[in-house]
Amino acid sequence: MSEGVAVVAGAGGFIGGHLVRDLVEKGWTVRAVDQKPLDEWYQHLDGVQELQLDLRLADACAEAVEGTDRVYDLACDMGGMGFIETHKADCMVSVLIGTHLLLASRDAGVGRFFFSSSACVYAAEKQTSTEVLALHEQDAYPAMPEDGYGWEKLFIERMCRHAREDYGLETRIARYHNVYGPQGAYDGGREKAPAAICRKVAAAVRSGDHRIEIWGDGEQTRSFTYIDDCLTGTHLVTDGDNHDPVNVGSAELVSINQLVDLVEGIAGAQLDRSYRLDAPQGVRGRNSDNTLVRELYDWEPTTSLQDGLETTYRWIYDQLP
């Protein structure tokens, strides 16, 4: 028996593609929507309705959500720091997607609306040290998020809140922290650090040229969330009763140099490192405080970075020519 009809906006992307598959396995009838041409989607699944729609347009959003029970809004223009820092206006235009999807969901009587926010909403002044304190949900205010992409995410968080207060639309929000895994971008500028490092190490191993370029000094710190944990957290937040944003992220803090160490160990290689200090780096340090997600759902991500990277590295290695 079907759980109902769910729309995944951004289904052609990395997380969206995994979410579509997961929802189908859980018994949902899924309508997958993305602006990208179908041959550019990361995953396809038999029996899923796939629509290419520009969700920046109100009419497209109305078509996407008609006759559905649940909407997952993962659609936005984004990528790694190399993309985010050079496409701020493009990232901000995604406010149209969130706004039109919320209004269309209100008009269509959608039962629940999930919004994938980001750790980029957190105030920059709290992320200036590599030994950053883990970020609590309240640390998004006073507001000074990542320019462009972070402001877009924070704006739609507020729209979700007010759509619930004014229209009675049940909205749920997860703040994702650096999600990675197989079946995603690993080159071209939109990849995140784990995929980029896996690709660089794999390419060095394949070519025999044991050198790697690292953006920044390698001491900047992050936590990285494996895709399976991201999906578990997404379902807990969407199905739960909490209306406010919740961190969905690993608390395993590492430096970029340590990330390279781990991938080198998986590959059985040791590379000569050069550091590009003028490259985009983002904030100096960022980590997830998981107190709230533990209190609400008795859960936090469980996949170690070592285990997640091993799966990701093997997949990326097999994709390279």
What domains can be seen in the chain, in order of their start residue? 5-179+226-248 (3.40.50.720), 180-222+252-319 (3.90.25.10)
**What number of CA atoms fall less than 13 Å from residue 183's CA on the CB side?**
18
3-state secondary structure the chain: CCCCEEEEECCCCHHHHHHHHHHHHCCCEEEEEECCCHHHCCCCCCCCEEEECCCCCHHHHHHHHCCCCEEEECCCCCCCHHHHCCCHHHHHCCHHHHHHHHHHHHHHCCCEEEEEEEHHHCCHHHCCCCCCCCECHHHHCCCCCCCCHHHHHHHHHHHHHHHHHHHCCCEEEEEECCEECCCCCCCCCCCCHHHHHHHHHHHHHHHCCCEEEEECCCCCEECCEEHHHHHHHHHHHHHCCCCCCEEECCCCCEEHHHHHHHHHHHHCCCCEEEEECCCCCCCCECCECCHHHHHHHCCCCCCCHHHHHHHHHHHHHHHCC
Q: Is 275 a catalytic residue?
A: no
Burial code (b: 16+ CB inside 10 Å, e: under 16) for 121-145 equals: bbbeebbeebebebbebebbeeebb
Per-residue model confidence as pLDDT tens digits over 28-66: 999 999 999 999 999 999 999 999 999 999 999 999 999
Tokens at residue 291, please?
């107190």
User: What is the spatial distance between Cα 154 and Cα 190, in angstroms, rounded to a whole number?
Assistant: 21
Per-residue model confidence as pLDDT tens digits over 259-270: 999 999 999 999
- Residue 40 amino acid letter: E
Per-residue model confidence as pLDDT tens digits over 163-186: 999 999 999 999 999 999 999 999
Per-residue model confidence as pLDDT tens digits over 73-102: 999 987 666 677 778 888 889 999 999 999
Spatial CA neighbour of 96 closest among 54, 138, 144, 43:
54
Report the share of the chain in percent with pLDDT over 70: 98
Radius of gyration of the chain (CA): 19
Question: How many residues belong to the chain?
Answer: 321
pLDDT confidence of residue 81: 66
pLDDT confidence of residue 86: 79
Q: Is the pLDDT of residue 133 over 60?
A: yes
pLDDT confidence of residue 2: 63
pLDDT confidence of residue 280: 81
Spatial CA neighbour of 9 closest among 186, 156, 119:
156
pLDDT confidence of residue 285: 86
CB contact at 8 A, 25 and 58: no
Per-residue model confidence as pLDDT tens digits over 219-247: 999 999 999 999 999 999 999 999 999 99
Per-residue model confidence as pLDDT tens digits over 245-295: 999 999 999 999 999 999 999 999 999 999 999 888 778 888 999 999 999
User: What is the spatial distance between Cα 45 and Cα 52, in angstroms, rounded to a whole number?
Assistant: 15
Active-site hit among 42, 149, 176, 186? 149
User: What is the spatial distance between Cα 162 and Cα 234, in angstroms, rounded to a whole number?
Assistant: 21
Per-residue model confidence as pLDDT tens digits over 198-208: 999 999 999 99
* Total Cβ atoms within 10 A of residue 17: 24
Banded model confidence at residue 1, pLDDT cuts 50, 70, 90: very low
